[in-house]
């Protein structure tokens, strides 16, 4: 009985996940500065998780939504939120951001 209840709960959770509205991309750009000799990396209307360039130094959020910066390349764990119209220093090799 307990095993059947667990299966039902897991199946219900999976079904609810499928019914959720898809996430919309943030409108605008996220720009990453690395060094003076490299061109800026620009993410147009970012959606989901993006690995930051290895030499990333500054991230600017010119989108309409908050952006989160993570210390790993998979957008997991603790993060720093960068509101629209703001920027943040990022440690080289700091990982990723999500929009």
Radius of gyration of the chain (CA): 18
Of the chain, the end-to-end C-alpha distance in Å amounts to: 42
**What's the rounded Cα separation, in Å, for the pair 99 and 24?**
9
pLDDT at 45: 98
Higher pLDDT, 6 or 45: 45
At residue 77, the 3 state secondary structure works out as: coil
pTM for this one?
0.74
* Sign, CA torsion 74/80/84/85: negative
Token code pair at residue 89: 């220093």
């Amino acid at each position: 009985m307990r095993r059947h209840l667990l299966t039902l709960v897991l199946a219900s959770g999976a079904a609810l996940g499928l019914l959720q509205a898809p996430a919309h991309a943030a409108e605008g750009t996220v720009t990453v500065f690395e060094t003076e000799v490299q061109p800026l990396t620009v993410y147009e209307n970012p959606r989901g998780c993006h690995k930051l360039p290895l030499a990333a130094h500054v991230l600017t959020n010119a989108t309409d939504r908050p952006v989160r910066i993570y210390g790993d390349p998979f957008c997991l764990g603790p993060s720093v939120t960068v509101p629209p119209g703001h920027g943040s220093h990022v440690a080289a090799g700091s990982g990723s951001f999500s929009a």
